[in-house]
Structure 1
Amino acid sequence: MRVKHLTEEALLELAGQRLSTNDRQLAEKHLVECAACRREFADFQFVHSVIGHMAEIGYQEALGEPARDLIKNRKEFAFPWTPALAVVAGCLCVLAILLFYPRMIPAVNASELLSDAMQHETDGSKAAGFRIQVSGQICASGRRSEQLVLLETSVRCHSALQHINKTRWASGNPLSARTYAAWRSALKHRTDHVIKNNASWEIRTIAEEDDTVREASLELRASDFHPTKLTLDFIDDEEVSISEDTEPLPAVLPVADIVTKVVPPKPQYVDNPGDLLEVQAWMALHQLNADSGWEAIVLRNGPDVRVKAVVPDDNRKQAVEKEFAAYPGISLEIHFAANPGDISDLFPARIHITGEAPALATDWLRQQYENSEARAEFSNQALRFSQKILGRAFIVDKLEKRRAALAHCSCEKDMAALVEAEKRSLGELEAGLSANIEPMFSARPGSSSHVLTLAEAMRLDASLHELLWRGSDSADTTFDASLQQVNSLLIRN
């Protein structure tokens, strides 16, 4: 719903106190809710006050005494045309100044102010507290948008928070010059205004093509360019303001205080939509069996969630697209294995043996298997297990880190369950490898309740490559030493 504004005629009549009682009450009610009309009304009030003041001074000087005494003591009155004309001319000058003199600083200074403000911001600084407000109603409070405390559950507040979640201000500290500058820079067409107040600067940007935000303004403290208030005017809703708040977040009273005190409503933490989408993306990969560590990964950049995958053929590509069709907020980047592109952030790094020496287990393999095909099958089977273990350990490592980052989210429990499922799969792969390479040991490697970390999986993979694929040129590396390394990793408790 687009917000309606009072016409200039209505504001002019209101400033001159010429509206009827009913119309005046309606106009004043609108001014309470509309900041834009309040600003314009203040301009008209100023014009009226200047005209009235100049007229009063002009008449007094022309008559030589107060007007009321003149009316009382003189029977005849000759209108002072010369002073009156001077008053009219002066008023016209004032109107010309108000209408045509640029009260706003040129738009180029918006970039300069934002640059100064960003220089005062540091990445390591704590986000200031803030409150989200709609038409005088405080909706939420927090220090980072990932940990909002919902103070009001009205439809108006819900709509405002939904709108904010679609913008760049959905995560991190919304009172940030960097975030405002990033939004402003992304606009192809915009109009900037900079207003200097007594103790602050106000940067106002009108977006001509943004589908969500029609206009935004950022207030900066004049002394140090510290952002103190952000105002967002959404296309189809009311104006939302986010202002700095030094008050602590509301907390639930201790149990001991409940007997004697009225307990405030329990704070409701609003989950970041990006967090929810990320967990859904990881779970979708698990459902697809695309969580091997060698096919797909979930990447996060602020509120944006992206899945990057390398698939063998078009059938697999269609399967991935079908699974994620239910999550339009998750973007997909799918490549074919024949032309994967940059995969540096997709797969785990493997330790490559650079030597040209034969595999350390070459003699042992010849003793065990006369057939070269049997030797190759044994080696390849073990190396396939090793690759799967490394990939799964890579996924577990990623999930555990993201689980820690999402500790505040209600979706953390889903992430925890997913981590446990991945660890079970990793344990099964380790057991399979132990059974496969059992002939290399005098006794079968013992089972372990401990699953390998990513670093341990990388060492295991490197040791098996030295044993079964290619040895290093180092004289210190022996068959027995590498075999012992593999055994110690697999039986670790």
Structure 2
Amino acid sequence: MQTSHSRSGWRTNEDVFFAYYPRLLEWAMQITHKDREEAEDLVHDLYFRITRISRSIDAMESIDSYLFKVIRNLYYSRLHREGRDPLNDLSIVDYDSVEQGLAVADRREMLFARAHLRQICRHVCQRKSAARSASVLILRFFLGYYASELMKILQAPRSSVDRSLQVARSEARLFLERPGALRFISQPPQREVAFSAEGEDTQRLFSELREAIFSATEGPCFPASALERRYAADSVALAFTASELAHLVSCRICLDRVNTILHLPLLAERSPEYGLDRDSTSGPGAGGDAEDAGAPIRRRPSAKGPSLRKIERRARELYEHRPESLQIAVDGEVRASQKVSAEKNELHLKLGRKDEPSFIEVFSEQGFCLAYLDVIDPASPDGLEQEERVALSDDRSLIVTLTFAADVPILHVLYRDPVMTERVATETDSARAEGAVAIRETASVASVPLRGIVLRPGRWIRRRADRVFAWMQVWYQLFVRTMNPFLASAAVFALGTAVCLFLWMRSASPMPASAFLQHAEKAEQAQVPSTESRVISQKVRIRTAAQSIERTIHRDSTGRRKPKRHALDRQTAALEAKLAKGGVNWDEPLSAATYENWREHSQIVRDIVRKTGNNLLTLTTTIDDASVTQESLTVRANDFHPVARTVSFRDTGDVEIAELDYAVMPWSDAEPGWFEPMRAAGSGVNGPGVHPLITAHLAALPLTDAQVDEAELGAMLALHQLRADADNRVQIIRRSSGVQVKGIVEDDARKRELEMRLNEVPHVIPAIFTFAELEHQSGFPAGEGGQNPRPVLESDEEKVSPLEKFLLTKGESRDEMSRLANRLSDSADAVDRESSHLAELIHRYAPDRQQLTEAGRTTLDQLIAERKASILAALDEEEHSLAEAGLTDSYTSDIQKTTLDIEEATKQNSKLCDELVFGDAGHSRSAQDILPELAQTIHQLHAVTLQLSPLPPTRTAPRKEQQD
């Protein structure tokens, strides 16, 4: 790996970094507003920047100013890039390793990321015995082996390793997106891979995935002598078979034997805690004294955390990372990108005449910063051309050059990757070898090919042409030379059969189901330009064996307005519920998108696309399901507009849906009763004389910060009123286009309740799932989620809590003691939760209250008032619990005036309740000793909560001091 070299008499940039580490961490804490984890990541990023530049930091006049400027620039660069969610562009399996994928994952998406990781782990564990690529992915992605280590284990070049990983990732990605699209031939029976579903933090998740892999061991172990002979220096490279490699990657003993032979780190040394530390705040110098800030930190493991090992692992990951594309950022803003497709990849970028860049960065698609150029003011001839060179693994290199000699600054990026040439040669040799493939795959992909697998139709045509030519030679010998009448008659019959078969085959469309649905979805979107808002009116007929109904459906082309729901009779409501089981949306019964969604979540037996009329194409999907046997979607062949859909139920027969009329009209032709009322956030136009449907146009306009604030406050109020914010299962995600509420609930009834309430809030989009839906998508039990149950009372006499001791003297039963303890603990938790939410509201919105819309201020006041009421109700419940336990006569209500704020008082209340219910390991006080202090804290909380104004004062002074 390339690091900065010292000149004579100067320290290396690495030595400067470790010497300044405490000071850098202190600066980073200030920049990130005391976010310890983000500060450590920022300092580690600084390490990778300054140790890869050619300039000597120790030779600079002001080292402090330079380092502070760089770390501040890195923070600004992060702010520029944080709006782009990497998991929206890449699947988590596309990252080099689990550690890297989770490192860039949005914390709000962690639940889904963990579910995807379990799905991928289960898939590769079941595939590894038949596909070597699955075993290679286990080593690289789950066990953290680097590419160079895989080359030694597999005795293969880098191109072969990367190609195996590419195939495995493509298959895993398709498995995540469409679990029913992969079917395997001759797949041996596999033992089910089970998960404990306890990986609530990163460390436990890694342990869970690793245990699942090592519990899926197949076959006998390798003799130690056999492994030594295989890797002997004078031995001929012998590739593992799929079954041999499947055993190796899931056997601790054999894998560590190979690690020892090849002098690689053992499995125990590959603990993820050294590579990813998302759940702790440990680091070099963590918690150190200020007087140690100037002491140099040498490269040795810290006693307070493995952060040095973490830096080393990240440096190795960066060194061996092969990018698929390059992104060039100027002062943190991405200006250009280029796909890596050849050995030499070159890009020229002209900057603006007024551009004065401070730093240049080159990122990969996974967020790795491959190169960093700290731009110097071109005040001298030496500064007219500035260059940084980075050496990477496998003889790869990256050169970044900034030239000021022309009329505008010109940036030149040159990336060389010799592995690309080796990869092209490998693919060419593979294409020439008949039937040879890089790995022994047995997957048969339904509907769509795997992305990343190169299809070679030329080889298929050659094989078919050879067979036809040989067949013609045989028939020439039989007929032309002998003219046997019997064989001639058979030939005529065979020819007629072939013609009929050909005509029959022409009636079927060769289009795969995925392309069919893709065209249909594009046709739906093309009905109205994305920049315009229109009303779609569609009349359909729904017919069953027992009834036939016609209904007209109105939809907003932008999706912002919801159709108005009307009461249905019992028979029609039952039909709606029945169609919902088949994935049919009552308001969009002919939607290709809902058909595709139903298809993705079904066990597909086969898909057939046929021509069913003069201008019609029909996709028929047969599935393996207890209630629905198959469904079909019919479109017009010329424009792929859906016109019919049929759902075949196993018990009640077919339900046919047909389009009778379709029109796109302006909002001026719409009637107010077609849609649910929608108020434009902060627009103030909803008054007398204003057509209510005009707000649909306003909703499509870009949102201001005040509008997003109003939407977020409205979502908070709705969740609080529905008591959906009591745990972490429902989260609010703020975006520039509005607010999204994502979460998991118990059942469909709770889901409908939340969605109905959230749909009433402008610019709020609900994305609510049930546990059953998550379990169906991920394939493992989702559990009940939420917080883990909290143990209340211990049965061991040595661990009896003060509350239990007091109740024992009164002769209470253990069930009664547990009930009272639970009640007291739950009320204290409610106080803590509501106080935390209230403090966050005041901190976030009070300083900028006047910038909110009038509706936003009203919602904020209502939300603060309801939070206060919840705190007071929880405090009353806490007092009632104490009174029910008989602890009311031991304290006085003479409470002194408090100087605590609500956060300090809440912490004190939680601490005292825990001491009363669970005891204190340090010292033991009786319930009578704890109660006076607890009672005083409860009364203080009452007073503090009542004193809080619904219009909190601004905090301009502290902000000014922070800026100074």
Band the TM-score falls in, shorter-chain normalisation: 0.3 to 0.5
Higher-RCO chain (CA-CA 8 Å, sequence separation at least 6) = 1
Larger Rg: 1
Q: TM-score, with normalisation over the residues of structure 2?
A: 0.23
